[in-house]
Amino acid sequence: MDRKEMWRHIAEQRLAVAEALIDLDPDEWERPSLCEGWRVRDVVAHIGLAPEITWGMTLREFARAHGSFHRFIRETAIDRAALPNDELIAIVRRVAPAQRLAPGTTTKEPLLDILVHAQDIFLPLGRDFTMPEHPALVAADRIWQIPPPFGFGAKKRLRGFRVSATDAPWSRGDGPSISGPLQAIVLLISGRVTAALPYLSGDGVQTLAVQTKE
């Protein structure tokens, strides 16, 4: 997938999220997302904020977060999340066509960001939000590659398993099998293990479930 196509998918997914957010009840905005410690509204705020992050903002907020990347991301989102719901939706819609990359990222990061965060929002609310296959394959490849602390540590967490999509040509690793729909695999490798488990099968799933509880 070339950059032009990636940006098209990013814009389409951002707009689709904005449209789906219109249907949320006020209480759903306050419910926990799949991101631990993040409400739905915090994730929405992050989606709208990510395309606006500059080097200056990064340096300033990174210092405020005492050098913690994850704290920097969380605190900037929580600050923005204080805005009214309709304004947060409007921001997501406004930034949908934006092609600005956050410092140190590639075009693949905003693609995986919107795909994963859409699930963070809608899955715990019991609302379906389909992840398109081609963009999800690109996202899965990138998620698997990014090392910590900026990535998901998928290679390390899932070492010793063979992770495979049942509905798309994607597999990684060796060992006991963990398989499921590509959408569930993306959740799994991005650290949303508990959310992914009900959709997974294979002789490695029980071991994975035990490891998740430890």
- For position 206, which CATH number holds? 3.30.1050
Residue 71 maps to a domain? yes
Residue 19 maps to a domain? yes
Q: Do 161 and 86 have their domain in common?
A: no
Q: Do 16 and 83 have their domain in common?
A: yes
Contact 173, 211 (CB under 8 A): no
Give the model's pLDDT for residue 66.
47
At 152, is the pLDDT very low, low, confident or very high (cuts 50, 70, 90)?
A: confident
| DSSP at 23 | T
Q: Could you report the per-residue pLDDT of 98-143, keeping only the tens digit for each?
A: 998 877 789 999 999 999 999 999 999 999 999 999 999 999 999 9
Taking 3-state DSSP, the helix, strand and coil percentages for the chain, each rounded to the nearest 5, stand at 60, 5, 35
Contact 170, 185 (CB under 8 A): yes
Structure tokens at 26: 């006020």
Which of these three, 52, 82, 103, is where a domain ends?
103
CB atoms closer than 10 angstroms to residue 11? 17
Q: Quick one: average pLDDT of 148-152?
A: 71
Q: Do 32 and 93 have their domain in common?
A: yes
Q: Quick one: average pLDDT of 4-25?
A: 98
Residue 77 maps to a domain? yes
Residue 122 maps to a domain? no
Q: Do 35 and 96 have their domain in common?
A: yes
Q: Could you report the per-residue pLDDT of 59-111, keeping only the tens digit for each?
A: 555 556 545 556 667 777 888 899 999 999 999 999 999 998 877 789 999 99
Q: What's the sign of the alpha-carbon dihedral 2, 14, 124, 76?
A: positive
Average pLDDT of the chain to the nearest whole number: 90
Residue 152 maps to a domain? yes
Which of these three, 81, 103, 125, is where a domain ends?
103
Give the model's pLDDT for residue 68.
54
Collapse the DSSP code of 208 into the 3-class scheme (helix H, G, I; strand E, B; otherwise coil) and give the result: helix
At 173, is the pLDDT very low, low, confident or very high (cuts 50, 70, 90)?
A: very high
Does residue 198 carry a pLDDT above 90?
yes
Lowest mean pLDDT among 20-24, 54-58, 106-110, 207-211: 54-58
Strand 162-165 relative to strand 177-180, pairing: parallel
Give the model's pLDDT for residue 190.
96
Residue 31 maps to a domain? yes
Collapse the DSSP code of 64 into the 3-class scheme (helix H, G, I; strand E, B; otherwise coil) and give the result: helix
* Residue 92, domain extent: 3-103
Residue 52 maps to a domain? yes
Q: Do 74 and 23 have their domain in common?
A: yes
Q: Do 23 and 97 have their domain in common?
A: yes
Q: pTM for the complete prediction?
A: 0.90
Which of these three, 83, 103, 123, is where a domain ends?
103
Q: Do 72 and 150 have their domain in common?
A: no
Q: How many domains does the chain have?
A: 2
Q: Do 14 and 55 have their domain in common?
A: yes
Give the model's pLDDT for residue 53.
62
Give the model's pLDDT for residue 75.
78
Q: Quick one: average pLDDT of 1-28?
A: 97
Phi, psi (deg, nearest 5) at residue 42: -65, -40
Q: Do 62 and 151 have their domain in common?
A: no
Distance CA 202, CA 206 (A): 8
Residue 124 maps to a domain? no
